[in-house]
Structure 1
Amino acid sequence: MSSPLGVVVTDIRRGDPAVIARLAEHGVATVHEAQGRVGLVGPGIRPIQQGARIGGTAVTVLSWPGDNLMIHAAIEQCEPGDVLVVATTSGSTDGAFGDLFATALKARGVLGLVTETGVRDTADLREMVFPVWSNGVHSQGTVKATAGSVNVSVTVGGQLIRPGDVVVADDDGIVCVPREEAAVALEKSDARVAKEDADREAYGSGAELSLDRKGLRTTLEGLGVRYMSQEEYGR
């Protein structure tokens, strides 16, 4: 999917805040598994902090490498509960984002940043409690000279993210949930958590092994896995 350059879309659709908040509570791994192991942003986009977990609506930016002009333009389009998502037309680790941007975004109720670029002022960002997931830490500055776009479809870490989609991010990475599928993803996440709670209770009490609870002995048998004593194995 190609995205035009030189546009700022001002009226994106946002999902149900209550649904988004619940997805955030479940976290990246649970939501990813629940929606069929899709939506993950690649592992190259990593948190600069530990312990943060957010879920919000994607406001997207498509910038030229080494240029942060469109981030300035995007701030105006942000609302409380949003997550700013920044991609570039080609690879760039320049420090396109720092504490001044975070100050402006935090004032508008933005929950955090996911970016294919580098970031700087990382100690300040952590002190501000403004969570960031980035392609690296780099003090190299940027210019403000080239038109990009705001609120168009972008690809971050190999994952398509559309404006208005739900972005969940924590220590395990980032997952995207299409806005129109958020309610179903939440139902499936709730069901997965309930199942895992039951598994955890069974394993913690010693009542069952995962081999039996998940029916994996039959799988092992079908694959030809044999049980034998050490004496038998040594022959």
Structure 2
Amino acid sequence: MSGVIVTNPPKAAAKDVDALAGYGVATVHEAMGRTGLLGTRLRPIQRGVRVAGTAVTVLSWPGDNLMIHAAVEQCGEGDILVVTTTSPSTDGMVGELFATALQRRGVRGLVIDAGVRDTAELREVGFPVWSAAVSAQGTVKATGGSVNVPVVIGGQMIRPGDVILADDDGVVVVPRERAGRAAGASEARENKEAAARAAFIGGQLGLDRYGLRETLARLGVTYKSHEEYETDGAGS
């Protein structure tokens, strides 16, 4: 397998990345019209951590981390390394030593659709990781691949320089040219949710706030007292 290492790809503006960092994955996903979520396979090895950064992408052969070594050189301050393989793999492709090298270059975290290892050490050094697997199985360094090319994880395309946002809920990608608009839409959604939260604290029901009583009626859902239910039967 041959490959290519692309240098200096365009990136989302730092101000837009920083703005998106203030919102959760669920908020940004909803604000973008429920798009960009990288599925449910990627889970954090830590808790209570949120990171946002620009993607440096890696396409590797399964069980081979050669191209991750090549990608370290392409990483810089504010990046998040995003790794996938040409076919499914659960091998532990990244561990503590990689984290040390990546942190030295200012990388904010790792998203990998494969395995990691040294998870206790990764948490100890404070290097956030979202992975599809945890495995002590090691890898080789023998096969070519690519760095900073478009990759696909969970049905979503990630291009180098796109924004990656990750927290306890998962990982979402924001196309670099949409980052500013996504941040604005996320702010509007948070304001809307704050108003709803205040209303719920005040005792309002979601049924009334969102007009859902009309929806229930339109769907033919009825209210019955317990006595009526027992008399009429559940199927009537």
> Under TM normalisation by the shorter chain, which class is it?
over 0.9
Distance 2:210 2:2 in 1: 50
Which aligned runs of 4 or more in structure 1 are off by greater than 4 angstroms?
none
User: SS where residue 203 of structure 1 aligns?
Assistant: helix
TM-score, normalisation: structure 1: 0.96
Please show how residues 84-123 of structure 1 align to structure 2 within 5 Å: 84-123=81-120
Q: Which residue of 1 aligns with 2:234?
A: none
Preserved contact between residue 112 and residue 131 of structure 1 (Cα < 8 Å): yes
Distance 1:228 1:141 in 2: 61
Q: What letter matches 1:106 in structure 2?
A: Q
Q: Choose which of 169, 177, 200 in structure 2 pairs with 1:180.
A: 177
Q: What letter matches 1:219 in structure 2?
A: T
Please show how residues 1-235 of structure 1 align to structure 2 within 5 Å: 5-206=2-203, 208-235=204-231
User: SS where residue 199 of structure 1 aligns?
Assistant: helix
Shift of 1:5: 4.6
Q: Which range moved further: 19-28 or 75-84?
A: 19-28
Distance 1:27 1:77 in 2: 27
Shift of 1:174: 0.2
Q: Which runs of 5+ in 1 are unaligned?
A: none
CA 1:166–1:212: 2 relative to 1, 3 Å: same
Q: What letter matches 1:216 in structure 2?
A: L
Give RMSD over aligned pairs: 1.0
Q: Residues 129-170 of structure 1: CA distance to partner in whole angstroms, max 9, x if unpaired?
A: 000001111011111110000000111233211111110000
User: SS where residue 174 of structure 1 aligns?
Assistant: strand
Q: Residues 65-104 of structure 1: CA distance to partner in whole angstroms, max 9, x if unpaired?
A: 0100000000111111100000100011111100111001
Distance 2:219 2:117 in 1: 51
User: SS where residue 21 of structure 2 aligns?
Assistant: helix
Q: How many aligned residue pairs are there?
A: 231
Q: What letter matches 1:94 in structure 2?
A: D
Preserved contact between residue 118 and residue 135 of structure 1 (Cα < 8 Å): yes
Q: What letter matches 1:231 in structure 2?
A: E
Distance 1:230 1:27 in 2: 42
Q: Which runs of 5+ in 2 are unaligned?
A: 232-236
